[in-house]
Amino acid sequence: MENSSGGPLLDGLLVTLEIGAYSIVLGLMIGLVTAFLRLSGSFSGRLLATVYLEVIRNTPLLVQLLVFYFVLGPIFEIDRFWVAVICIAFFEGSFASEIIRGGVLSIPRGQWEASDSIGLTRAQAYRYVILPQAIPIMLPPLVGILVNLIKHSAIVSVIAVFDLTTAGLDIISETFMAFEIWIVVAAMYLAVTITLSVLVGLLEKRMRRTARA
């Protein structure tokens, strides 16, 4: 089984990791912008962010993927790989935005007042005072977003993106070894998500030690 499936599964895993890497970067950017819009004093900004969150969080990811693929993809001539990346990023970004907003709101009001007293602009206050304190708070739930993103990426097989799940389906269709292949695929997903959790956990501990120092 190793000789027949190792290569395609590893290729599919690399594509899954690539989708995950692009999606998490784009998703965090979307989440950050959305969180700032909700925290801003702009009515139109808050309305735009709220509409985005309500639409994304109250419709299934599969439906969103099909809309992106069959509607937005042809209109903007987006390759199916990037359709998958953008769709997953928008989906996970909606959850990341609430984590980021919650982290910012958890910082005491006195920190804002101290920033104002030394003449910092709002952007400078975010950069130098608020976010450095909020990031350690936001990091654990953001790890959950990252792990979910890797798991949710399996849905891209629906639009024939060659990822780990698609590779598994292809091998099963050729070998009829469904049980063995799905066990290997599940183990590969598990190895990736556990590794990510451990690495981010180590990063979180290091950030806490740095903050205490």
Percent of the chain with pLDDT over 70: 94
Amino acid letter, 156: V
Task: Please give the full DSSP string across 126-188, using - where no structure is assigned.
Answer: IIIIIHHHHHHHHHHHHHHHHHHHHHHGGGGGGGT--SHHHHHHHHHHHH--HHHHHHHHHHH
Residues 182 and 165: beta-carbon distance below 8 Å: no
> Structure tokens of 42?
């702009």
pLDDT (tens digit, 9 = 90+) per residue, 68-97?
Answer: 999 999 999 999 999 999 999 999 999 999
- Collapsing DSSP to helix, strand or coil, 200 comes out as helix
Number of CB atoms found within 10 A of residue 148's CB: 15
Closest-CA residue to 68 (of 50, 81, 58): 81
If one counts the domains in the chain, the total is 1
What CATH number has the domain bearing residue 70?
1.10.3720.10
pLDDT (tens digit, 9 = 90+) per residue, 169-211?
Answer: 999 999 888 999 999 999 999 999 888 888 877 877 776 776 6
Q: What is d(CA 66, CA 76) in angstroms, rounded to the nearest whole number?
A: 15
Residue 2: is its pLDDT beyond 60? no
pLDDT (tens digit, 9 = 90+) per residue, 53-67?
Answer: 999 999 999 999 999
**Which range of residues forms the domain containing residue 93?**
2-212
